[in-house]
């Protein structure tokens, strides 16, 4: 399915209400992290995900769904493109923005959670799966 | 400053109500994204990488303290506490919720602001010299003409679906601070041979994927014919501009494909047909609009003998960040939104509030936004400079770097923009920190950074331009040298192979080192040295160890 060996795809979009970056998980929910996301490992699975994205866009849950190519290293998903790394982790400069206030309900990115979990020796999802870990930008 | 009349106020309120209904229908699913997208774009709402983005028009970059306070309030209430001033003299909020945007627009309408035509294929916010109405260099204040164009172009039925977006810039000084030659139409207000005011009209400039400098289409256009001539240009463009290829849809492509002479012939033929019609500008109408821009009541007192206590930092700031005012005893002050290592163009709600207060107390209630992503207080008494400087220091915006190497233009880049290929802001921050210790030694130097080929960061006209591209999924940066957006406009040239995020900062430093080593003296500015030396010594330095 992917151009390079070891590459997989996940489905991403922006949430309709606030434009937030979201990914489709196994529960069929659009969530802000890579934890529990559906992974396409074959062209058939990719086509299925694409169809699901269009369906949910049609239901006005999300906007502009598309597949993102990832490397999967020891169970950890790493976006191939810098663009997708920035989408996943948010702007790289927010700590420097004068007056910036983080949103109250903004969940930490998967990368942050994974890093924190790894540091605590508990890098597992609710399903007992290893959480993805992003590369440093 | 222009004030809404009843028509303007009703029109903007009506537009807010319409958009509120459109957003409600979108959120309920009644409208699809395909149906909603053109509606939101007409109201300045984009969907960016992480959130919606709202771009608010600041006509010709002029606003009052009240309006700036409203922007601060919106930043604090609906966004994440800051806003980003752009190269089109606008302001962008990066994090609004779609459901909040109608309320934001309603708040803006309270202070006579809106976001109409800040996107879409129509005439965008008309930009003007940010020193307009204050500088002694101008023949007249260009903003009344910008306002006339704004009124004519707002929801113009014939030009609401142009082949592509359309940008107009205007200056009234020989020294062009508005970069008019990079606009679809550039207007230079001047005194004509007969003594009246008129325009040199430039057409077909633009940056982006295929940069061109504008060409002169008419040397002397009487002011009364301003609208009819612009309308003739837009009609020819609307008729012949390509709609089959977005990359070839701007007027610059049309003009460069058929030639300026053929284009001029078509425009003149159309103009002859319409010039004496309803678009003829009556003197009374020009005077009516000009009255809104009447100079403030300047205090009739000479400059004080001693302006300030002895303070070297203040001396530097006065030297770099103030400009001669046409009124004796006053200065134009540039507040650079470029603290060392900071984010170009960003201002917090607290900073906006503070600057609004300063504008009210020190600058006749006026603030300007420059296309270089700075703010300007246009009318400051010399005797108030010290107090103003102290207040700017208190909010971290007293950097004495206007026009220096750390006064960098940078687009939002890949940190925010859905079109970007590479980040711009972190490169600007690192360059700022790297070059700050030597910026006074280097002198005037314009560095401009774009995160993609669309060139919102004006890299084509940077003395040093940086273009972010994507190479095998990673950020990569091309280096360009020799550009200028002034009256001596020039497009920069790519030096050669590009660099990674670390390499581009080192490469710029090598360019600066080479300039300092080879310049004839401190009086020879970077662009003059580059013109004399050519690109080779800079390339040799950049690629010597590559």
The interface predicted TM-score of the complex, written ipTM, equals: 0.90
Query: What's the confidence (pLDDT) of residue B351?
Result: 98
The residue ranges of every structural domain in chain A are 7-90+102-119
Angle between helices B260-274 and B226-240 (to 10 degrees): 120
Which residues of B fall within a CB distance of 8 Å from A20? 50-51
* Sign (positive or negative) of CA dihedral B75, B79, B85, B87: negative
Name which of B33, B51, B81 is nearest A101 (Cβ-Cβ).
B81
- Check pLDDT > 50 for residue A114: no
Residue A2 has what pLDDT? Answer: 45
In this chain, the answer to whether the domains covering B142-291 and B409-543 adopt an identical fold is yes
Q: CA of B472: which chain A residue's CA is closest?
A: A81
Are B180 and B204 in contact, with CB atoms under 8 Å apart?
A: no
Contact A10, A40 (CB under 8 A): yes
Could you give the CA distance from residue B191 to residue B71 in angstroms, rounded to a whole number? 37
Topology of domain B142-291 in CATH is Sulfite Reductase Hemoprotein; domain 1 (3.30.413)
Contact between A18 and B343 using a beta-carbon 8 Å cutoff: no
Q: Phi and psi for B484 in degrees, rounded to 5? A: -155, 140
pLDDT band at A93 (very low <50, low <70, confident <90, very high): confident
Q: Residues of B near A (CB-CB distance < 8 A)?
A: 26-29, 32-33, 47-52, 75, 80-82, 95, 97-99, 341-343, 346-351, 396, 414-416, 420-423, 425-426, 429, 470, 473-475
What count of CB pairs under 8 Å joins A to B? 109
Quick one: pLDDT at residue B229?
Answer: 98
The shortest CB-CB distance from B350 to any of A64, A99, A103 is to A99
Q: Which CATH superfamily is domain B409-543 in?
A: Sulfite Reductase Hemoprotein, domain 1 (3.30.413.10)
Look at residue B170 in the predicted model and tell me its pLDDT: 98
- pLDDT tier, A5 (very low <50, low <70, confident <90, very high otherwise): low
Convert B2-54 into a string of H (helix), E (strand) and C (coil): CCCCHHHHHHHHHHHHHHHHHHHHHHHCCCCHHHHHHHHHHCCEEECCCCEEE
Q: Which residues contact B447 (CB under 8 A, 6 or more apart)?
A: B405, B408, B409, B428, B431, B462, B463, B464, B465, B466, B508
- At B149-166, the pLDDT tens digits run 999 999 999 999 999 999
8 Å CB contact of B396 and A98: yes
SS3 sequence, chain A?
Answer: CCCCCCEEEEEEEEECCCCCEEEEECCCCEECCCCCECEECCHHHHHHHHHHHHHHHHCCCEEEEEEEEEEEECCEEEECCHHHHHHHHCCCCHHHCCCCCCCCCCCCCHHHHHHHHHHCCCCECCCCCECCCCCCC
Q: Which residues of chain B fall short of a pLDDT of 70?
A: 301-308, 545-546
Residue in the block written with tokens 């040397």? B219
Closest partner residue to B47 among A14, A80, A103, by Cβ?
A: A14
* Residue of B26, B46, B51 best to disrupt the A interface, most CBs of A under 10 A: B51
Note the pLDDT of residue A108: 39
- Which stretch of DSSP H or E encloses residue B92? strand B91-93
Say which DSSP state B294 is in. Answer: P
Query: What are the structure tokens assigned to B322, written together?
Result: 């103030």
- Which residues from chain A sit within 8 angstroms of residue B347, using beta carbons? 98-99
Nearest CA in chain A to B93: A100
Tell me what pLDDT residue B315 has.
93
List the domain boundaries for chain B: 6-110, 142-291, 312-394, 409-543
pLDDT at residue B271 in the model: 98
- Is a pLDDT exceeding 80 seen at residue A73? yes
**Inter-chain contact A16–B98, Cβ cutoff 8 Å?**
yes
State the pLDDT at residue B310: 83
Question: Tell me, what's the pLDDT at A94?
Answer: 78
Q: What is the CATH number of domain B312-394?
A: 3.30.70.3340
Looking at residue B304, its pLDDT comes to 61
Disruptive mutation site among A22, A23, A58, A86 for chain B (greatest number of B CBs within 10 Å):
A86
Mark out chain A residues that contact chain B at CB-CB < 8 A. Answer: 14, 16-21, 57-60, 63-64, 80-83, 86-87, 90-93, 96-103
Q: Is the pLDDT of residue A116 over 60?
A: no
φ and ψ at B100, to 5 degrees?
A: -85, -20
pLDDT for B281: 96
Cα(A20)–Cα(B474) distance, rounded to whole angstroms? 23
Chain A environment of B474 (Cβ under 8 Å): 81-82
Q: What per-residue confidence (pLDDT) applies to A100?
A: 80
Identify whether the C-beta of residue B341 lies closer than 8 Å to the C-beta of residue B429.
Answer: yes
- The whole-number pLDDT of residue B306 equals 53
Q: In the numeric block, which tokens belong to residue A136?
A: 């440093």
Task: Answer whether B351 sits within 8 Å of A20, measured CB to CB.
Answer: no
Pick the CATH number of B6-110 from 3.40.50.150, 3.90.480.20, 3.30.390.30, 3.90.740.10: 3.90.480.20
Q: Is the pLDDT of residue A105 over 60?
A: no
Residue A58 has pLDDT above 70, yes or no: yes
Contact list, A12 vs chain B (CB under 8 Å): none
- Return the structure tokens found at B125: 């916010």
Query: Which among B47, B342, B414 is the nearest to A86, CB-wise?
Result: B414
């Amino acid at each position: 399915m992917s151009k390079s060996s070891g590459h997989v795809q996940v489905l991403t979009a922006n949430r309709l209400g606030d434009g937030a970056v979201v990914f489709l998980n196994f529960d069929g929910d659009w969530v802000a992290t890579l934890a529990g996301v559906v992974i396409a490992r074959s062209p058939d699975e990719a086509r299925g995900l694409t169809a699901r994205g269009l369906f949910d866009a049609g239901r006005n849950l999300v906007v502009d769904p598309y597949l993102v190519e990832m490397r999967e290293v020891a169970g950890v998903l790493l976006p191939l493109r810098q663009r997708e790394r920035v989408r996943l982790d948010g702007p790289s400069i927010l700590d420097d923005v004068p007056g910036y206030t983080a949103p109250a309900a903004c969940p930490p990115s998967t990368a942050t959670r994974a890093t924190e979990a790894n540091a605590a020796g508990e890098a597992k999802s609710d399903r007992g799966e290893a959480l993805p870990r992003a590369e440093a930008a | 400053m222009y004030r809404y009349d009843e028509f303007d106020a009703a029109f903007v309120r009506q537009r807010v109500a319409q958009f509120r209904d459109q957003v409600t229908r979108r959120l309920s699913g009644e409208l699809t994204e395909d149906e909603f997208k053109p509606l939101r774009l007409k109201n300045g709402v984009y969907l960016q990488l992480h959130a919606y983005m709202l771009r608010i028009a600041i006509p010709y970059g002029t606003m009052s303290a009240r309006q700036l306070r409203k922007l601060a309030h919106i930043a604090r209430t609906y966004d994440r506490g800051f806003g980003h001033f752009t190269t089109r003299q606008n302001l962008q909020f990066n994090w609004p919720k779609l459901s909040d945007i109608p309320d934001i627009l309603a708040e803006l309408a309270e202070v006579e602001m809106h976001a109409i035509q800040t996107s879409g294929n129509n005439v965008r916010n008309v930009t003007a010299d940010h020193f307009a109405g204050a500088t002694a260099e101008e023949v007249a204040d260009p903003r009344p003409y910008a306002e006339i164009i704004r009124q004519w172009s707002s929801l113009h039925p014939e030009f609401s679906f142009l082949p592509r977006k359309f940008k107009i810039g205007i200056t009234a000084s020989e020294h062009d601070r508005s970069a008019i030659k990079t606009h679809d139409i550039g207007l230079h207000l001047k005194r004509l041979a007969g003594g009246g005011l008129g325009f040199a009209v430039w057409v077909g400039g633009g940056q982006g994927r295929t940069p061109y400098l504008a060409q002169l289409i008419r040397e002397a256009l009487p002011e009364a014919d301003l609208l009819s001539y612009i309308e003739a240009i837009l009609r020819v463009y609307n008729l012949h501009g390509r709609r089959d290829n977005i990359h070839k849809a701007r007027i610059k492509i049309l003009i460069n494909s058929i030639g300026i002479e053929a284009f001029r012939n078509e425009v003149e033929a159309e103009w002859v047909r319409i010039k004496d019609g309803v678009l003829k500008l009556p003197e009374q109408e020009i005077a009516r609009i000009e009255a809104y821009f009447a100079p403030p009541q300047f205090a009739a007192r000479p400059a004080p003998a001693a302006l300030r206590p002895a303070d070297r930092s203040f001396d530097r700031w006065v030297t770099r960040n103030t400009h001669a005012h046409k009124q004796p005893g006053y200065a134009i002050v540039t507040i650079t939104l470029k603290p060392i290592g900071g984010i170009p163009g960003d201002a917090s709600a607290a900073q906006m509030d503070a600057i609004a207060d300063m504008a009210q107390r020190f600058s006749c209630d006026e603030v300007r936004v420059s296309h270089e992503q700075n703010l300007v207080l246009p009318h400051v008494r010399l005797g108030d400079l010290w107090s103003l400087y102290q207040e700017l220091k208190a909010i971290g915006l007293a950097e004495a770097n206007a026009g220096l190497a750390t006064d960098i233009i940078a687009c939002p880049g890949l940190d925010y923009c859905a079109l970007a290929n590479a980040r711009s802001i972190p490169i600007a921050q690192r360059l700022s920190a790297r070059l700050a210790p030597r910026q006074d030694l280097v002198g005037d130097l314009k560095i401009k950074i774009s995160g993609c080929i669309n060139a919102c960061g004006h890299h084509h006209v940077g003395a040093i331009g940086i273009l972010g591209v994507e190479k095998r999924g990673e950020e990569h940066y091309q280096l360009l040298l020799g550009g200028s957006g002034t009256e001596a406009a020039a497009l920069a040239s790519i030096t050669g192979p590009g660099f990674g995020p670390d390499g581009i900062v080192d490469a710029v430093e090598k360019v600066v080192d080479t300039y300092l080593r080879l310049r004839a003296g401190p009086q020879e500015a970077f662009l003059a040295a580059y013109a004399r030396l050519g690109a080779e010594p800079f390339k040799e330095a950049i690629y010597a160890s590559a």
